[in-house]
Structure 1
C-alpha cells in the first residue's frame, strides 16, 4: 500500500476527522463518487438503498442485489491512483480469503464481487460484501459499558479465534487493525433495525438513472408507435411512483434510526446523557480505523436507545456469531506495506517500539478486545498526540 494512504491513516488518529459525514471537500476529481439513494451499479445489478458509513478511502452503502435478491454492502473507493492501488491490494487479500473458505466456516467476511465504476470524478473500484450486522462496539454500548457475561465473551472470542487461526496459520495474513469496530455480528442486535427482518420496502432504481434510460432507448427502436406510447405512459407512472416512494420513505424515517444498518467502524462522537456517559475517555474518544470508516448511524444508536433496561433486553437473545471485517490495511507475514499499523488502544508493544511485527500483533489486539468485552472499558487508553519515550511505554 502506498505511503500516501498511511499519511491519510495517521491523519485519522490526530482527530482531524470527527464529523458525522465525509463533507463535500473530497467530492472532486480523484475523490469520492457522488452516490444517491436509488442509483444503480454494474449495469443495474446493485441498487443503492441507504448509506452505511464512510471512510477516508471510500463510502459504504447498503444495496440490493437484483440478481440474487439479497442485501449487500457496496464499498465505493475514491478514484485517485493510490486509492485504486490500495483497493486492488485489498481485493487480492479478500479473494485469497474467499478461495480458501468455500463452506463459509472461517468467520471472515466474504467478498462477493468487485468491479470498476466510471463517474464524474474518475474511475472508482467498487467492492461488494455480504451484508452483516452490528459491530462489537455497538454490543458493548448495549451493555452500558459495564461488560458482558463471561459465557457471552467466550462465545464471541471463539469465533474471532477461528477467523484469526485461518488468517494466520493457513494464509499467513495479518489483519493489522483488529478492534471491536472491525468485528461484526451476523445480524442486528435489534431485529427491527435489520432490513432483512423488518420488512423494509426495497427502493427501486433511481428514476433518472442513466442505465434505465439507455435500456429504454435501446428497445424503442424496435417498437411500434402504440407500443412506444404505452412505454412512455408506464415510465411516467413509474417515475411518479418512485417520487412518491422516496417522499413517503423520508416521512417514515425515524430520526434516531435513519442511515446505516451496519459498518466496519463507529462514530467518534459520543451522545450519551451525562449519567450514562462512560468515564473512560477511551470509550468516549476512540481513535478511528485505518480507513477511518464511520457508521453514519448504527454505532451511535447504541448510545441513545432509551433506558438501560431497554438496551440490555435484546442482549439475552442476540446471536453472537461474528466475522472479521475491514482488510484495507491487511498484509502478509512475508509482504508488509508499512510499520505504522493498528489503532492506538489495540497497538502492540513491538509496533510502538518500531520493531518487526507478525501475526502476534493481532493476538495482542484480540486480548485487548477480550478485556473490553468483559469489562466495558478499554485496557489501554493512550491519548491522541502524546509523545511518550520508550521508557514511558
Structure 2
C-alpha cells in the first residue's frame, strides 16, 4: 500500500500545494502570544501554567531565559506550556557553526510516574526506528534526543526536538473565518493520513490525541527563526512572580508569515497519550483527550482501536474546512463541557447509538436508561443537515466530501474507514476548480 502514499506525495497535485503563504493569508486575524496571555490574565489573574487547574509549582522545572541546561542547551525563549511540561527554544552550544544549532526542549514535570515517561520514550523510539524509509515517517515529529535533568524538587525528563513554527489551530487564526481552502485541506489531510498510515500499520500505535493543536507546521524560512532568536536575546526576560517563584511568560509568536515562502509539510506531535494496540497502556490514559474530540467508544466504554484517530481526524477535517467545530460546545466555558454534552451532540449529528454498541459499553448506564433512552434529552441539539452546513464548498462538491466525512464519523469504530481507505478516497484526489 505504500505505493499509494508515494504516488500521492510525488503527484503534481502535492507538489503544487506546498502553497506560497500569500495564497493562504487573506484579511489576517492574527493574535499574538502576549494578547492571548493577556486574555487569560484578565479573566483568571493567572499566567501560563498557573491557569492549569492541577498546577503545582514544585512539579515544574524553574527554567529561566539565558540558563544553560545540562551544560549543552542555552535557553532563549519559553514557547509554551501544558499540563505536564513547559517548552523552550534553545541553542545547542556543542554544534559547529555550519550545523543546525537551534532546538526545542520539552521539560516535563517531576511527578510523572517513571513508568509513564519511560513508556513515552519507548513509543517515540519505536516510531523513529520502525521503518525510516516509509513515506509517512517524515510527518511524525519524534525527539532528536532525551535526558534526565535534576531540578530543586526532583528529576525531569527533557526531550529535544527540531524547531517548528506553530500548530494548525494558530495558523487558522491568521486566516479569515479560520477557513482553509479545500485544496489546502486536502493537502494537509494527505500528509496527516500518510503519517497515520505509518503509525497504525507499521508501528501498530494509536495516537490518541489527534487535534489541530497537535499538528505543527514548519518554519517557512531560516530568516524567520534567526529574527525570532535575535528578538528573544534582545528582550529583557519577562517573568511573573508568585510565592517567590518566577514564571517566565511564553513567547511563541514568530511574527508574520513570509508571504513568498512555500509552506512545508506539517508534522504530528505529542505521543504522550499514544498506546500500542493490544498493549499494556490503559483506557484511562487515552481518556485524557479533550472532551470535544472524544470518540463514542471512549464515552461509552467499549473496546477501542485505530478508529479513535479516524474519529478525531473527521472532526479536525470539518474544523479546517469550516473554521468551527462540528460538535458545537454550547457553553461559554469550553472546559466545563461534560461527556453527556458530547454524547448529546453526537446523537444530534448521528442519531442514537446502535443497541449492539450501547449494550457492550461499561459506561452506557451513566447516560442511557434500561430502555436505551438518553437520560439528558434536553441537551440534544436540533438536527442540522450537514449538506446545508458545508458552505465552504460548491454544492456539486458537497456529496463527495460528505461521503469522505461520514467514513470517519460513525458510532461503530469498526465501520469507520481505515487511513488507507481514506487516502484512496476520490474527494482527496479531486482538485477544486481554480
Counterpart-to-counterpart distance in 2, 1:47 and 1:354: 46
Cα deviation, 1:229-262, whole Å, max 9, x if unaligned, reads xxxxxxxxxxxxxxxxx6xx126x9xxxx99xxx
Query: CA 1:157 to 1:320, structure 2 compared with 1: closer, same or farther past 3 Å?
Result: farther
Query: CA 1:316 to 1:37, structure 2 compared with 1: closer, same or farther past 3 Å?
Result: same
Q: Which residue of 2 aligns with 1:22?
A: 49
Cα deviation, residue 145, structure 1: 2.8
> Which stretch of the first structure deviates more once superposed, 313-322 or 33-42?
313-322
Matched, 1:345 2:292: yes
TM-score (norm 2): 0.57
Matching residue within 250, 256, 267 for 1:296: 250
Cα deviation, 1:37-92, whole Å, max 9, x if unaligned, reads 111222x211111101111211111111223342111011111252x432211111
What residue ranges of structure 2 are gaps of 5+ in the alignment?
1-42, 240-248, 342-366, 369-373, 381-434
Verify the 8 A CA contact 2:77 2:250 in the aligned structure 1.
no
Matched, 1:324 2:355: no
Larger helix percent: 2
Aligned to 1:200, what secondary structure does the other structure show? helix
Aligned to 2:87, what secondary structure does the other structure show? strand
Counterpart-to-counterpart distance in 1, 2:312 and 2:146: 29
Matched, 1:173 2:127: no
Query: CA 1:366 to 1:178, structure 2 compared with 1: closer, same or farther past 3 Å?
Result: same
Q: Which residue of 2 aligns with 1:67?
A: 94
What residue ranges of structure 1 are gaps of 5+ in the alignment?
1-15, 204-245, 260-294, 306-310
Counterpart-to-counterpart distance in 2, 1:90 and 1:375: 33
Verify the 8 A CA contact 2:219 2:225 in the aligned structure 1.
no
Cα deviation, residue 195, structure 1: 1.8
Matched, 1:149 2:134: no
Q: Which residue of 2 aligns with 1:218?
A: none
Matching residue within 250, 262, 278 for 2:235: 250
Counterpart-to-counterpart distance in 1, 2:158 and 2:150: 10
Instruction: List, as ranges, runs of 4+ consecutive aligned residues in structure 1 with deviation greater than 6 Å.
Output: none
Counterpart-to-counterpart distance in 2, 1:143 and 1:374: 11
Say which structure, 1 or 2, has more relative contact order (CA 8 Å, 6+ apart).
1
Query: CA 1:50 to 1:320, structure 2 compared with 1: closer, same or farther past 3 Å?
Result: same
Aligned to 1:49, what secondary structure does the other structure show? strand
Counterpart-to-counterpart distance in 1, 2:282 and 2:306: 14
Question: CA RMSD of the aligned region, Å?
Answer: 3.2
Verify the 8 A CA contact 2:107 2:159 in the aligned structure 1.
yes
Counterpart-to-counterpart distance in 2, 1:18 and 1:58: 21
TM-score (norm 1): 0.63
Counterpart-to-counterpart distance in 1, 2:314 and 2:173: 19
Cα deviation, residue 199, structure 1: 6.9
Aligned to 1:48, what secondary structure does the other structure show? strand
- Equivalent pairs counted in the alignment come to 277
Matched, 1:80 2:111: yes
Counterpart-to-counterpart distance in 2, 1:160 and 1:346: 17
Verify the 8 A CA contact 1:49 1:202 in the aligned structure 2.
no
> Which stretch of the first structure deviates more once superposed, 48-57 or 375-384?
375-384
Counterpart-to-counterpart distance in 1, 2:117 and 2:46: 24
Aligned to 1:177, what secondary structure does the other structure show? coil
Cα deviation, residue 138, structure 1: 1.0
